[in-house]
Amino acid sequence: MLFHRDRGNRELATRLRDEVEGEVLFDAASRGRYSTDASIYQVEPVGVLVPRSFDDVRAALVIARAMGVPILARGAGSSQCGQTVGAALVIDYSKHLNGIVAIDHDAMTATVEPGLVLDALNAALKPYGLWFPVDVSTSAQATLGGMAGNNSCGSRSIAYGNMVHNVVAIDALLADGTEARFARLDDMDVESARVAELVIRLHSLGMRNRDEIEKNVPSVMRRVGGYNIDIFNPRSERPYTADGNVNLAHLLVGSEGTLALTRALTVKLSPLPRHRTLGVVNFPTLHRAMQAAQHLVRLGPSAVELVDRTMIDLARGNPAFRPVIDAALVGEPEAILLVEFSSEAQEDALRGLRDLVALMGDLGLPGSVAEMVDTAKQKALWDVRKAGLNIMMSMKGDGKPVSFIEDCAVPLEHLADYVERLTGVFAKHGTRGTWYAHASVGTLHVRPILDMRRDGAGKMRAIAEEASAMVREYKGAYSGEHGDGLVRSEWVAWQFGPRLTRAFEEIKALFDPAGLLNPGKIVRPSRMDDTSLFRYPPEYAIRPLAPALDWSAWDVHHDPAANTFTAPGTGGDPARGFGKAVEMCNNNGHCRKFDAGTMCPSFRVTRDEQHLTRGRANTLRLALSGQLGADALASDDVRAAMDLCVSCKGCRRECPTGVDMAKMKIEFLAQWQRTHAMPFATKAIANLPRWAPWASRFSALFNLRNRLPSLARASERWFGLSAQRSLPAWRRDTFLGKDRAGKSPIAPDAQEVVLFVDTFSNYFEPENARAALVVLEAAGYRVSVARATSNDAEPKRPLCCGRTYLAAGLVDEARNEARRVVAALAPAAARGATIVGLEPSCLLSLRDEFLVLGLGDEAKQLAERALLIEEFLVRERRAGRLKLALSPLPEKRALVHGHCHQKAFDAFGAVREALALIPGLQVDVVETSCCGMAGSFGFEAAHYDVSQRMAELSLLPAVRAADAETIIVADGTSCRHQIADGTRSTGTREAIHCARVLEKALRPS
């Protein structure tokens, strides 16, 4: 039946809404957010269903089948080949269908729902000493259903195999509504005639094609293209089953959602290795590294992973990675191989390392191995390797590393030749690639840099043709890891020949005769270079825009061959760099993580694509390029996507490509204000620095709001501030009212420090500023307090960084505040003084937003000299200059929560280090994302619930669990407020600023 698009869409949405419990998303922005994965493609889905239970999936299938609408299952959407995009009803399993059904320790299996993320499974298995060892780089976001769909492989596949080697059974729903458990043939329930017939016909098809399988399926372990028809005549170097029995679940593995919808997977678990050692072999050339791989695998390692010179350099350019990678280098290698040994007994892992050292001596490279026995050091280096692709993707400009031959697998003896010849091919096409990853199994990742809006499509085909010819010559596999999708399904016939291609068609027809499931993947493909499927087709264009902030740093051209960039502002972006900044998101989905780090707090609580950094970047990109209609940037759709962004700047640091959504939110709000009237309440909060002096003077009156419930209710009605919240209490005794700077005796040659006291510290917690002053003076610095210049239009009004204006998108007003600060502090910065502040979100705006407000070189100079008090003290200590006499405190433990902006600017370590200066104080850190308060966000009634949920993720439980003898430390004003508010019902805990802890520990002189 033909599906008439618009009418059909509406009818489909209506029927779904009537019959399923889950969310039904058919609006343009939601469809846009689901139209991409980590590939170069973009195809708008018909609509999206986020099912609450598998019953929803069953119901959706019935409706879609009746209406002839294709269905596309989706996990994290991190596929690189376009497997997860298509004109279909997308079913997003990741939000609700993500449970662990059972763990069987004796059988060493786990049964899970398909939306479960690998890291979540492994966290649950750890206490049992078990793990699921297909350790993909995307382990923090990849779902087990998606991993099975793509037959994913991890770094340790040489020891554990791919998904196909580790899946025991799949419970699946077929397109006609049949449900069956696919497993070993002798375990399959064939009561149903449909299932019996399917099994018989598949078996007969397999048997008929045994000779062709022998001839045309490459005999390498890393082969994930086509369907796994070789279960009927195994060609993998590693057996699929221990006893050679055929397991039909293995046919579903790697089928990219084209054969069935997974309800549950039973997977094989492995004992968590008790001991691991790592030897990093340093090579003078990439060629020698590749030649060595075939010898290294004979030592029985659990991984052999390549990192080439470009990647080494890129990693060294990242402050977090530099010390880690430096520890692994011997001299200046052109490539390193990470060779890991895992075992039950420590001696075996150590022996592996010794054998490696001896082997490298035999191979003519004595002294080339950096040995790592310490687990923490190993993990740090693996994290750098796992970040490899993401490090590479942080390249600015229109040319990007493109994935299409990035996982060809060739037998190890040909690896060196293959790398050399392909490098020549890249050079011929005016580009280059960076090499890394799985040397152990001949699957090296490489992405040539191409500009898909211009000549990229043609070059892509030319390079693919030359690479494929080499793969054929070496009897390798064209897809050794990432599957077929839109980029490689066209190559299935090339790889497997006409007879197996027909067999694949037959398999598809046996499972899904109507072609409902993920059409166009593996069989009946489109062309890889069909530009109508590209995310950046030739007609793609950003609409002209005059941004409020300066985005010119992103507006550059990149020459891949020379690896040079043009000057800022010359990239030709009609949105003056804002467009290119938004396009930095390549959809890799790294922001979907739940474990360490900050990014992305709103997604962590809602699990909605819309509330994810990726979802926001996609929404902005679609709006800026006119794909959500005219003038969509200032639309409700974009506003809804930005609404729960708490501007924590987590993505600024943790997004591998540096998508800085907090800054983008300011830009969006500024654009929004141009066409929308600002609500009175927003304006009032933004203007706080202006009316704060009055509120302070009449603090008793203003503070009544916290005591009288009727006033709290009124503040919710008039200002949208939640009545359930207390508000920060105004103080009459402000710091700037009577600071006593310069009262302590100071040495004549003392270093100059200017204390920048922000609006919040001044009016709400002046004791923090006083503590900072006391500590700095006790340490012997010449401290002055920052004040507006006499030329300032309002010389008496305290300086302010403009944070409240930025949060409202009032960029001009924020610029005015910033100008006052620059005018007041630039002279001190120019003569070498350090500007020291207390409140992370205020002080760090001098190093961040001030630089995109068009304030010139003085702002840059100021940024270089602006430090948080802990950063300053730690810098001084490291330089051997700090003279701070501290005594033990009665409390023996400090529990510290880091402000998101501290983490984003790598400034949080300094808090721990500064507190550790106090003798006998144990400093523990709460592993938290955003506290949920985030300026005024958590005070707003509309955000109260989300704010609480963010705090309850880990911060508040940790604070509640701390004993009364523990000092709770939080440097952020709003973090402290959240902690006090959130513990009120269980016994209020007051957190204090680090400066006050240090002040308490000052030894009386």
Ligand X SMILES: Cc1cc2nc3c(=O)[nH]c(=O)nc-3n(C[C@H](O)[C@H](O)[C@H](O)COP(=O)(O)OP(=O)(O)OC[C@H]3O[C@@H](n4cnc5c(N)ncnc54)[C@H](O)[C@@H]3O)c2cc1C
Q: Is 257 in the site for ligand X (CB under 6 A)?
A: yes
> CB of 481: closest distance to ligand X in angstroms?
5
What would the x/- binding string for ligand SF4 be over residues 77 to 116, using CB under 6 A? ----------------------------------------
- Contact of residue 234 among ligand X, ligand SF4, none (CB under 5-8 Å per partner type): none
Residue closer to ligand SF4 (CB basis): 590 or 819: 590
Residue closer to ligand X (CB basis): 593 or 819: 593
Give the residue from 220, 227, 187 showing the smallest Cα distance to 205: 227
Residue closer to ligand X (CB basis): 519 or 560: 519
> CB of 79: closest distance to ligand SF4 in angstroms?
13
Residue closer to ligand X (CB basis): 84 or 501: 84
**Residues 318, 390, 726, 954: which binds ligand X (CB under 6 A)?**
390
Contact positions with ligand X (CB under 6 A) in 741-770: none
Residue closer to ligand SF4 (CB basis): 659 or 992: 659
Tokens representing residue 920 in the block: 């006998």
Please answer whether residues 902 and 971 qualify as being in contact, where contact means their C-beta atoms are separated by less than 8 angstroms: yes
Tokens representing residue 752 in the block: 């100059």
Q: Is 619 in the site for ligand X (CB under 6 A)?
A: no
**Residues 9, 30, 35, 80: which binds ligand X (CB under 6 A)?**
80
DSSP labels for 172-221?
Answer: EE-TTS-EEEE-BGGG----SHHHHHHHHHHHHHHHHTHHHHHHHS--SS
Q: Whole-angstrom Cα distance, residue 467 to residue 478?
A: 9
> CB of 146: closest distance to ligand X in angstroms?
2
Sheet containing strand 369-372, edge to edge, reads 369-372, 275-283, 335-343, 303-308, 435-438, 443-446
Q: Whole-angstrom Cα distance, residue 206 to residue 92?
A: 32
Residue closer to ligand SF4 (CB basis): 16 or 951: 951
Q: Whole-angstrom Cα distance, residue 127 to residue 129?
A: 6
Using CB atoms within 10 A of its CB, is residue 628 exposed (0-12), middle (13-18) or buried (19+)?
Answer: buried
**Residues 140, 142, 806, 970: which binds ligand X (CB under 6 A)?**
142
Q: Given the rule CB under 6 A, which of 8-16, 226-234, 608-616, 760-768 is the region that contacts ligand SF4? A: 608-616
Q: Given the rule CB under 6 A, which of 131-139, 414-422, 826-834, 984-992 is the region that contacts ligand X? A: 131-139
> CB of 827: closest distance to ligand SF4 in angstroms?
33
Q: Given the rule CB under 6 A, which of 23-31, 150-158, 495-503, 664-672 is the region that contacts ligand X? A: 150-158
Q: Whole-angstrom Cα distance, residue 929 to residue 932?
A: 8
Q: Whole-angstrom Cα distance, residue 568 to residue 661?
A: 20
- Contact of residue 136 among ligand X, ligand SF4, none (CB under 5-8 Å per partner type): ligand X
Cα–Cα–Cα angle for 210, 212, 216, nearest 5°? 125
Q: Is 83 in the site for ligand X (CB under 6 A)?
A: yes
Contact positions with ligand SF4 (CB under 6 A) in 638-677: 645-651, 655-657, 659, 661-662
Q: Whole-angstrom Cα distance, residue 467 to residue 428?
A: 13
- Contact of residue 76 among ligand X, ligand SF4, none (CB under 5-8 Å per partner type): ligand X
- Contact of residue 773 among ligand SF4, ligand X, none (CB under 5-8 Å per partner type): none
Q: Is 74 in the site for ligand X (CB under 6 A)?
A: yes
Please answer whether residues 482 and 491 qualify as being in contact, where contact means their C-beta atoms are separated by less than 8 angstroms: no
- Burial readout 330-349 (b: 16 or more C-beta within 10 A, e: otherwise): eeebbbbbbbbbbbeeeeeb
- Contact of residue 650 among ligand X, ligand SF4, none (CB under 5-8 Å per partner type): ligand SF4
What single-letter DSSP state applies at residue 991? E
Residue closer to ligand X (CB basis): 378 or 983: 378
DSSP β-ladder status, 261-268 and 109-112: antiparallel
Q: Whole-angstrom Cα distance, residue 808 to residue 940?
A: 13
Distances in Å between the alpha carbon of 464 and those of 407, 408, 917? 12, 10, 58
> CB of 57: closest distance to ligand X in angstroms?
8
Give the residue from 488, 461, 487 showing the smallest Cα distance to 477: 488
Q: Is 599 in the site for ligand SF4 (CB under 6 A)?
A: yes
DSSP labels for 805-868?
Answer: HHHHT-HHHHHHHHHHHHHHHHHHHHTTPEEEES-HHHHGGGTTGGGGTT-HHHHHHHHHTEEE
Query: Locate tokens 């968590």: which residue?
Result: 272
> CB of 903: closest distance to ligand SF4 in angstroms?
11
Tokens representing residue 267 in the block: 């997977």
Q: Is 613 in the site for ligand X (CB under 6 A)?
A: no
**Residues 86, 520, 601, 840: which binds ligand SF4 (CB under 6 A)?**
601
Contact positions with ligand X (CB under 6 A) in 551-590: 588
Q: Is 523 in the site for ligand SF4 (CB under 6 A)?
A: no
Contact positions with ligand SF4 (CB under 6 A) in 537-596: 585-591
Provide the binding-site residues for ligand X, judged by CB under 6 A: 37-38, 72-80, 83-84, 93, 114, 136-138, 142-143, 145-147, 149-150, 152-154, 256-257, 261-262, 389-390, 481-482, 518, 588
Provide the binding-site residues for ligand SF4, judged by CB under 6 A: 585-591, 599-602, 613-614, 616-617, 645-651, 655-657, 659, 661-662
